[in-house]
Amino acid sequence: MGAFQNISRLADVATVLAKNGFADLATRLDLPGWKPGGPHLAGEKLARRYSVGARLRMVAEDLGPTFVKLGQLVSLRPDLLPKDVVLELRLLQDRVTPEPLGAILDEVHKSLGRPLAEVYEDFSPEPLASASLAQVHRARRKDDGRWVAVKVRRPRILTVVEADLALLAALARTLHQRVEYLKPYNLPDLVAEITLHLRQEMDFSLEARHMQNARAQQGPKAQVDIPAPHLDLCCPSLLTMDLVIGTRLEEAALTTPQKKALARQLAGTILEQVLKHGFFHADPHPGNILVQSGGLEPRLALLDWGLVGRLTPKMRFLVGDLLIAAVEREPLDLVRALQAMGAAPAQGDEAALAHDVEELLERVHSVPLQQIDTSALILDLMDLMRVHHLRVQPQYALLDKAFMEMEGLARELDPDFDAVEVARPFVGSLWLERWRPDLVYKMARRHVREGLDLLKDLPGRLDRLLGLMERGEMSMEFKHKGLVPLTKAIQDSSNRVTMGLIVAALIVGSSMIITTGVEPKIFGLPALGLIGYLFSGIAGLWLVWSIFRSGRF
């Protein structure tokens, strides 16, 4: 049955690819279910009307919720995919028809290991939200009467997702082997990366820990609310958390000053998470934000902590260096920051990269500083990195997504939003943190310890190296780019010297024969001597011509 389902799914993939103008990929993949004509012809017309990115988005939408989620995750890598493809995939909407209530209640029972009536009461039959992986219902705890939101994983979704992931991995390997122009994108590695992200998103116990961490790092003056998880009612397939009463951002009735305040709240929260704590919400799009209007002033609540990013202190400092270099228009500093972030190519042209970065900064700084679109700048930098075959660590790609969505939403609330102004105090604090005496001391102590460890291990390493040399188990190969022309020059010179010696020997030998007067003779002179002179003359002229032609004399 599983094999039949896989063949059926492959046939679906073939049909959808052909219908959306990717019949050549269906052919190269040798997928069942695709034949010339029908969807193939319709796809050719579609290809003339829409870009590759738009058609890839259509493919994901046609293949269903799993591929929609996969498309969203693929859009996290603008350093690997063209800019237009990334922007189109980020338009994918993760909204699907809710599961029947009976199936959800069965899933809750199975997840908790006890009847739903023992845990919740007033379990709402209508979901608050419905997505491809889960849906959320309102309920009330039976033990203390608190209202909660219950996020339940869709029944059988694990089986469906794992089957689609296995299929996608096989298709990625085949495309990587058979389609030459797709090899630079390294599709198998990209699929492996999004598979990891997707599996983490489906583990709701992990999301509960993310919410705990985010709440713990918030200060007493937190500008954004994060629901508290109820850990006693959480497991991989179910998440219980405080119920947040609010309105979707686009539906909230807000005044202009309130919109401006909320824009700064959101931006300040994300920047604090990234630059101060290194633990941040990586998906702050409008669907994950609610506006609460119960107090004197509206507040934002940040929901759905399935996708988060983590930065080490060193990574945070590098992000600060990157932002400073971009704002202060220092292309070489920007290139160095990219290289330190793991973006340096194995065989790259640093000068060419610096030139392209400088051109990008010129375009960015052609507008006043307060109007700089930092999210567009980051996306353009990622696109440059793709062109120069650079690759960053996944956490930096998550940061790019978080910054882009945060700034885009802030500008929707406040068209005059100044990202540079909001970021300035956080970048300044980050710079001061880097040179705090305790951190400098810790860094110096680490370097000293590493140096002492190296000195301690050096005798043993040298002993092992000498042992390999003594046993003949180590070989060394030297190669220098300048040695190949040098070797050729030596060969050419030796050939000419040899030819010169042969010519000289012919002349001397012919002269000796001429003096002997041996028969036969031509024009009264020995024939062998004349033939020797003839050959030596021809060889000598050829040698002189080759020297002049080479230009080296």
Give the residue from 191, 183, 202, 218 showing the smallest Cα distance to 28. 183
Exposed, middle or buried, 120 (CB in 10 Å: 0-12/13-18/19+)? buried
Cα–Cα distance list, 460 to 384, 411, 456, 465, 469 (Å): 45, 60, 8, 9, 14
- With b for 16 or more beta-carbon neighbours within 10 A and e for fewer, the 334-365 pattern comes to bbbbbbebebbeeeeeeeebbebbeebbeebe
Handedness of CA 244, 247, 250, 254 (dihedral sign): negative
Residue 225 main-chain phi, psi, to 5 deg: -90, 145
283 is an active site residue: yes
Helix axes 419-434, 374-387, angle to 10 degrees: 70
Amino acid at site 351: A
Beta pairing partners, 491: none
Contact (Cβ atoms closer than 8 angstroms) between residue 204 and residue 237: yes
CA gap 250, 243 in Å, rounded? 20
Query: How far is residue 136 CA from its own chain's centroid?
Result: 31
Cα–Cα distance list, 502 to 34, 95, 257, 508, 540 (Å): 72, 88, 97, 10, 9
Sequence-separated (6 or more) residues with CB below 8 Å from residue 291: 246, 247, 248, 249, 252, 254, 262, 298, 299, 300, 301
Contact (Cβ atoms closer than 8 angstroms) between residue 214 and residue 93: no
Query: Catalytic pick from 79, 164, 225, 283?
Result: 283
Helix axes 157-178, 187-201, angle to 10 degrees: 170
Residue given tokens 């440059």 in the structure block:
384
Catalytic residues: 283
